[in-house]
Amino acid sequence: MKNKYSIIIIPPEHEKAPNQIQFSIKAKKIILISSAVFGVFFSGMFVHDVYQHYYIKSYQQKISYVDQLEKEIQDKNLEIARLNDKTAEINDNLLAIDSMEKKIAGILKINPETESSPTPSNSGPEAGPGNISLQSFSKAGTLDQASNLVENSKKKIEQYYDTTIQQQDRVNHTPSILPVNGPISSPFGYRRNPFGRWTSEFHTGVDIACAVGTPVMAVADGTVTFAGWDGYWGRKVQVNHSFGIVTFYAHNSKLIVSPGDEVKKGQVVAYSGNSGRSTGSHLHYSAYVNGQLVDPLMFTTYSKEQ
């Protein structure tokens, strides 16, 4: 028994004899080393499993992040495609605006002085939801064109506005109404002389029948150049409307403007009467264009034809 270890196994029932296993010191060493080797091996396996568990877990997080990124890219591409469609729509509308601008320029009789506008193009890689690519960013060129077109349109519209204001001013300074409402009792041109039975005279305007005291209106915007007594015309108001047009209203009973006054179309400047060389209550209305007498009804007739 020397230099040997013994393990005695006692069975539960004491009737049977206990088993005795003997092994030497060398065997003990082998058992211990084997136990240590197995211990290290299983510990290694355990550490490996734990590492693998955490590695897989972190990798799954990365996969999930990549999935999220892919979805975001897909969403962005859809947004880019939508913006491209919108850009094409804006370009179409700008073309329509350009066409309308040309028509307005024709009506206003002006030639817009703007640099040649780039023609919008819908060509290039199509980028619908079914054909999405980051190359869609090349559409930015189309956006630049749209931006230039908008800038040009703005300049043209500003020009149209100025022209319209000028033309509106011209319209306001052009006679388009009669100074009083009433029947024409004597037209423009040669007529029998109301003061001489068998002679004729050139009537320099139109006579409009109206009661004494009827408000007399300026037929267009302008400046009063005469307001006073005239031996022939009685109480007379004369208005210079610019653009070569001058009108006057005679035989009034009362004047309510003075020379230098600015008057507007329709503004009352006098009250009608029978002053001066007149045979009865009426308003005499005369008009000049570039210093030449004209039939004042040409303005209202002209106006009615518009």
Q: Under the rule (CB under 5 A), what is the footprint of Zn ion?
A: 207, 284
Q: Angle of helix 140-172 relative to helix 25-108, nearest 10 degrees? A: 30
Q: How far is the CB of 284 from Zn ion (least distance, A)?
A: 3
Which lies closer to Zn ion via its Cβ, residue 207 or residue 221?
A: 207
Minimum distance from CB of 302 to Zn ion (Å)?
A: 21
* Cβ at position 285, least distance to Zn ion in Å: 8
Instruction: Identify the helix (H) or strand (E) that includes residue 9.
Output: strand 4-9
User: Which residues, in sequence order, are bridge partners of residue 209?
Assistant: 282
Q: What are phi and psi of 203, to 5 degrees?
A: -85, 120
Residue closer to Zn ion by CB (options 194, 215) is: 194
Q: In the complex with Zn ion, which residue's Cβ is closer, 122 or 253?
A: 253
Nearest distance from residue 216's CB to Zn ion, in Å? 14
Assigned token pair, 299? 């303005």
Q: Which is nearer to Zn ion, 101 or 207 (CB)?
A: 207
Given a contact cutoff of 8 angstroms between Cβ atoms, the answer to whether 219 and 177 are in contact is yes
Q: In the bound complex, what is the minimum distance in angstroms from residue 240's beta carbon to Zn ion?
A: 20
Name residues whose C-beta falls within 8 Å of residue 136's C-beta, 6 or more positions apart in sequence.
77, 80, 81, 84, 125, 127
Closer to Zn ion at the Cβ: 236 or 284? 284
